[in-house]
A and B are shown apart, each in its own frame.
Chain A
Amino acid sequence: MLELPVYLDYAATTPVDPRVVAKMLPYLEQHFGNPASRSHRIGWVAEEAVVEARAEVAALVGCEPREIVWTSGATESDNLAIKGAAQFYQDRGRHLVTVTTEHKAVLDSMRALERQGFEVTYLSPDANGLLDPDRFAAALRPDTVLASVMLVNNEIGVVQDIATLGALCRERGVLFHVDAAQATGKVAIDLSTLPVDLMAFSAHKTYGPKGIGALYVRRQPRVRLEAQMHGGGHERGMRSGTLATHQIAGMGEAFRLARLEMADDSARIAALHQRLKNGLMALDEVHLNGDAVQRVPHNLNLSFAFVEGESLMMAIKDIAVSSGSACTSASLEPSYVLRALGLPDELAHSSIRFSLGRFTTEAEVDFAIRELASQVGRLRELSPLWDMHQQGVDLASVEWATH
């Protein structure tokens, strides 16, 4: 029997793997020490756990353990990387470059810097969600201090060509930050060869706990940051605050498992992705958002034309997914990521993000296909847009009374 609701929202967060939970628990009770306590064994045990976890995080992404700075999550890592580098290097220049489809943690950090007098160039991706390296190169200026491009997009799952983009930054002496929150355990990351200076990680997208993340800060050539959190000088002064030993141990274990199981997980999830995609795209007027090839199989973002996303989510209440339509917000704006791809409004309002993970089964995928097929059909019977489409009316030619 299927357990309902079926969870297909792994890009929002993942369950903590039971093996991760087991690793974390001792650090809540018996090994409760402060890793910064150097004067007794209780502190040393906690510190050992932090050292081990730091090595595991580093091993997954091919860097040195001492290049890893613990934070509260990818949002904090993005903030620290972008604001910290921009502020530290502002004498070099006050211009930054990013992409309109970045996560809000990047975009809003950029906005904050604009209020401090920095200038930011926001590049649009192509219709497939990928950033054209030539356009990226053209945006880099002599006064550009930092560029930020995410590795795997959270909404549409496309994988940016970080190696090429990073090389363009290197040639021009521009620091390169990469938000990799959605990438760990899904794509191979090797910072020993990638021209990347800063990279943000999150535990809870990779079967670790919420509330913990990390920032990679390159040592050679050395990257320096203005701290955003001041206090006891933890993490080499870049991020003060008592280390959350149990969270850190959990992130380390989660990243260790990701390293060992990524190949098997990815192959299995790629098969499930294909099954879900084939099943859903067999319906009429279903559009894939984001590049079909340069993507992670964990994400499938589809627009079910002429059906509004929120009502569709309501109809498939036994399936936990996300919609690019945000009718609940006061703005009634569809997803800014889908708009950035140039999607017509009715498709942007009609999108559903399915994200698959370690515990997704074939039976769950088949259930989702059946539910979607029946509910999309039902809602289209209710939809005046579907009616018009059936009658051959071009919706773009209609003069709508926008409100």
Chain B
Amino acid sequence: MACELSQTQLHAYFDGELPALDAVSFEKHLETCPDCKRQLEAEQSLRDSLQQADLYERAPAPLREKLQPRTSATPPIPIRTSMKPTSWTWLAAAAALLLALITSWQYFGRVSEPSSTQIIASTLVDAHLRSLEPGHLTDIESTDQHTVKPWFNGRLDFAPPVQDFSSDGFPLLGGRLDVVQGRTVAALVYGRRKHIINVFVEKSQPGISWKGSGTTQGYQWLAWQKNGFCFFAVSDVSAADLTALKQLLLTS
């Protein structure tokens, strides 16, 4: 057996590394090539096994303490390593980003109106990226939902649903306030293996449309509404992981 492409393009396609045009032609090829179809299924099955086996081995606490003696706590996922004040480089980068956003907004505004979904997606993906800067991830760092939930009291005009899903592989890491398009929203921070997921929560109201799913700047996002809240989850985890977290939040 073995179609020639199953050893070359197939892997780049499987890993999302094939340029868009090549990916389209490879998908056409897949429709007619049972070899490649079968190989792709086998690759997915192997990846599923590797993901589910939880093979990632974190640095043991004694090693962490040796290398970073000032930190007494040993968080399972490295979060705050520095409490340095905002640096000028960061401010400059933020300003450049803002300028780029405004410029592209004006540009696209003239050519074709970007949908409100696209705008909100890129705004929230930016907020996700900002949160990954050292010291920006959480305002309240706790895995205890009974600590995080009351923290939002008085800081927002709504009470976001906060729940820990450690037993399902999505530990709550903390919470944060973000300002999105002039409104203050809650950001719940979850871990997934060594990845970070931000779930932004906002009160549903006319003019807010958080819905759909997609990929923006290489980050997966998924939006939905429930019980008068809008949710927007964004991360570098797989779409399947985001869907699993959505299901947990929907059924909680």
B partners with A: no
